[in-house]
Structure 1
Amino acid sequence: MEYPQYMLLCLLIVNKVNAQENNQSINLSKANITPYKVELTQNKTTHILFPGSIEYVDLGSNEIIANKVEATSNVLRLKTIKEDISPTNFTVITNDGKYYSFNAFYNEEPIQLSYDLTKFEKQNSKQQSEVLFKDLGNTSPSLTDLFMKAIIKKNKKEQNIKSKNYGVEAILKSIYIQDGKFYFHLSINNKSNLPYQVDYVSFKIKDRRTSKRTTIQELSLKPIRSLKDSQTINSQSKQDNVFILDQFTLSPKQVLLIEINEKDGIRNHILKVKNNNVLKINKLIIFNE
């Protein structure tokens, strides 16, 4: 019987082929991210305007310094700490998930000191690599942004919880769920003749008072992100916004309070969301017009 020796020979050949395949390395040249070229100097500041808020900056050398402009969230300023530094690089990640790579070179008199990547991307349709943020789960930032915009476009009044105060009406129109995240669609309608500036929007879970002796428990929920960072609603106009929160549940004895406060004003609003409102929310399938 020759079969055992034949089978052994086959196994040796298969193992040899697998070993050869495992030893082959993957060429990552096709996965290369093309960097931007930036010239820096010591006596002048370079500014870069990004389409999204800056979340992360990593510098390839301690010979350059970088920080966000205090009054903004999407402008980065850079300069060198000395003359004629060695070529280096730096990386920036913005809150819309875009990943930017830069090669930095020293030039005593840079040709350009200000870069507007918002304008550049619109003109050149450049596609940046996208990263995933832990707080958004498996949903990419760009898809999250599309979800929020689609909710506003759909404009369905599924909850329709309202508050009116001095000519300003606040409405919770709908709540959707996607990938373990709640999407709250809020709308503010300013029917007065004065502009309305939102100071903050807060979300709190509270126990519903049952007696005077009951201790009221309160839990603040921090939105993961919103479609708009700040809102100023002009007179006789309205604005919509979407806030994303981690999934939660409410007992019949609890209520979610959404507080909308006016900056330096008294036209404040409280929207009360009960457990039955949360239980009847829909999955975010809203793209079939």
Structure 2
Amino acid sequence: MNKSIVFLMVILWLAQGLYAQTYRKDLPDIAISKDVSLHFISPEPIQYVDISTHAIAGDLPLKNVLRLKIVPDSVTHFALTGSVAGIVTVVGESFIAQYNLRYTEGQAFTVPSQVNILPEHTRPLDVPGIALTSKEMQDFAMRILQQPAESTLRKAKAFGIQAKLNHVYTAGDHIFLDITYYNKSNLSYQIDEQRFKIEDKKITKATNVQSVEITPVWQLYPNTAFKKQYRNIYVLKKATFPGNKVLNIELTEKQISGRVLTLKLKYDDLLKADAF
């Protein structure tokens, strides 16, 4: 047999072994084409992704969107293995989903460009450190927003800006703070940052100030500018602090104006929180 033919057969055999993919009959089939990017839409932020082949590249353009695209140089190799392109695994905050990827030469308008990850395609997970999923937090937050912001648990005002703590709720190991900001001035308030800090209730010049900053694990809306009113829901992990300290919620405006407003919460405010 001609040596060149033998060499070519060996190369083809090695390529088949390199690109051969496992096909699982228990998984849904999703078509993928060289001309169309495939987007998986997750109901939760995606925590982890595994693609069983280097012939397909993936990235996360958004926290709940996985984008897959065939590597151009790999298209010819799919002809060796048939339509099986690999398996993609997507892990959310509370689920895992897997799909068979099938390569197709179909026209762009016949190949799906997006796939919604449906409940029937997932299996539940118990992920350490995630007591509530983002979807559950959003559901709780929307329920809070349905209640009028008529009650005032705490308030503060300065420089024409007023802050009101409307409600405090707990769910699991999380605290939900419902806060409304009002702008009484004619200047739009451009939010620079919002910080949550446990600090001493009374500060004197001779006192060493001890401050512990807490980062919200989730909030309903991103910080932005507001002209007259701004209401948001912030979620914190449960924390305890003594009676001589307070939880300061500091709202800072972008320079040059730089107006700062601090809303002070006592630990007693958190103890009286309603539960979902």
Is TM more than 0.5 here?
yes
For the 8 Å contact 2:97–2:121, the answer to whether it is kept is no
Instruction: Report the alpha carbon displacement of residue 150 of structure 1 after superposing the two structures with TM.
Output: 1.3
For the 8 Å contact 2:168–2:178, the answer to whether it is kept is yes
SS of corresponding position for 1:211: coil
Q: 1:135 aligns with which of 129, 134, 138?
A: 129
Residue matched to 1:23: none
Gaps of 5+ in 1: 1-31
**Cα separation, partners in 2 of 1:105 and 1:136, compared to 1, 3 Å:** same
Q: How high is the TM-score relative to the length of structure 1?
A: 0.67
Matched, 1:204 2:197: yes
Q: Per-residue CA shift, 1:39-89, capped at 9, x if unaligned? A: 142x664444445433322223333221122xx433332222311444212
Report the aligned-residue RMSD.
Answer: 3.4
Distance 2:70 2:225 in 1: 42
Q: 1:251 aligns with which of 242, 263, 266?
A: 242
Matched, 1:62 2:54: yes
Distance 1:196 1:63 in 2: 49
SS of corresponding position for 1:261: strand
Instruction: Report the alpha carbon displacement of residue 147 of structure 1 after superposing the two structures with TM.
Output: 1.8
SS of corresponding position for 1:147: helix
Letter in 1 for 2:193: Y
Matched-pair identity in %: 25
**Cα separation, partners in 2 of 1:172 and 1:217, compared to 1, 3 Å:** same
Residue matched to 1:217: 210
Distance 2:115 2:231 in 1: 28
Matched, 1:242 2:269: no
For the 8 Å contact 2:150–2:166, the answer to whether it is kept is yes
Matched, 1:146 2:136: no
Residue matched to 2:267: 275
Residue matched to 2:65: 75
Instruction: Report the alpha carbon displacement of residue 234 of structure 1 after superposing the two structures with TM.
Output: 4.4
For the 8 Å contact 1:188–1:239, the answer to whether it is kept is yes
Matched, 1:260 2:260: no
Mean CA deviation greater in 84-93 or 215-224: 84-93
Residue matched to 2:113: 114
**Cα separation, partners in 2 of 1:175 and 1:190, compared to 1, 3 Å:** same
Letter in 1 for 2:215: K
For the 8 Å contact 1:190–1:196, the answer to whether it is kept is yes
Mean CA deviation greater in 217-226 or 53-62: 53-62
Letter in 2 for 1:260: L
For the 8 Å contact 1:194–1:235, the answer to whether it is kept is yes
Residue matched to 2:98: 101
SS of corresponding position for 1:154: coil
**Cα separation, partners in 2 of 1:100 and 1:187, compared to 1, 3 Å:** farther
Distance 2:92 2:128 in 1: 14
For the 8 Å contact 1:159–1:175, the answer to whether it is kept is no
**Cα separation, partners in 2 of 1:93 and 1:276, compared to 1, 3 Å:** same
After TM superposition, list the pairs within 5 Å mapping 1:25-64 onto structure 2.
Answer: 35=28, 37-41=30-34, 45-64=37-56
Residue matched to 1:15: none
Residue matched to 1:183: 176
Distance 1:171 1:235 in 2: 16
Q: How many residues are matched?
A: 241
Instruction: Report the alpha carbon displacement of residue 130 of structure 1 after superposing the two structures with TM.
Output: 5.1
Q: Per-residue CA shift, 1:111-159, capped at 9, x if unaligned? A: 4463264xx97xxx9786554543342x455433322211222245665
**Cα separation, partners in 2 of 1:136 and 1:191, compared to 1, 3 Å:** farther
For the 8 Å contact 1:166–1:267, the answer to whether it is kept is yes
Distance 1:207 1:33 in 2: 58
Q: Per-residue CA shift, 1:146-205, capped at 9, x if unaligned? A: 222112222456653223344443322222222222111122234555554434322111
Residue matched to 1:173: 166
Gaps of 5+ in 2: 1-24, 79-83
**Cα separation, partners in 2 of 1:177 and 1:141, compared to 1, 3 Å:** same
For the 8 Å contact 1:40–1:106, the answer to whether it is kept is yes
Distance 1:51 1:166 in 2: 41
Letter in 1 for 2:114: Y
